[in-house]
Copies of this chain bind each other. A is one copy, B any other.
């Protein structure tokens, strides 16, 4: 398999499509973030890369609190919009019709319509170059009741979507199950390389 060298690129697959919120000058604002992931297990933390100039980052720095909201597939338009517009110019909450509520952290605005909301407290903000890497401790997790199965959030009900950058920037649904995790590889572990699943 011939490989082509393409230089340093920010290509990783898949990325999430997250609505990150903060209060800026007393108003809730949300931006779209695809560059992020879980950063620690215990205590639970996540990290987000946010361009220094972003309006939402101002609020994160001011309050040392923010939210991560996972939108469902019916919110793709609003999610895209929140990445295109700046809260310095528009009231995105009003434009999108977001219902904002607050949990444990009084300065981390959460979006009612999103099936999953994480309230986060800032642990550290690193300056890595073009972006700030915001590391937050997940203080509380809110899940819409109708998306639970046996007491756990069910991705088939929440219908989160993903962002894939190439060849074109697309939002995609989560696809079919191809294997069970912490399971399908067990055959290899036992040295049963040729055994069926």
Contacts and interface: CB of A to CB of B under 8 A. Distances in A.
Interface string A41-60: 11111110101000000000
Interface in A64-108: 68, 70, 73, 76-85, 90, 95-96, 103
Given A133-B135, A188-B96, A116 B11 contact: yes
Which has the most chain B C-beta neighbours within 10 Å: A68, A79, A166?
Answer: A166
Chain A interface size, under 10 / 10 to 19 / 20 to 34 / 35 or more: 35 or more
Contacts of A78: 185, 188
A25 interface: no
Contacts of A171: 177-181, 184
21 contacts: A2-B144, A6-B142, A12-B70, A12-B118, A14-B14, A14-B155, A35-B39, A41-B130, A42-B129, A80-B183, A81-B188, A95-B193, A96-B188, A150-B167, A153-B166, A153-B167, A154-B166, A168-B181, A172-B178, A173-B178, A174-B174
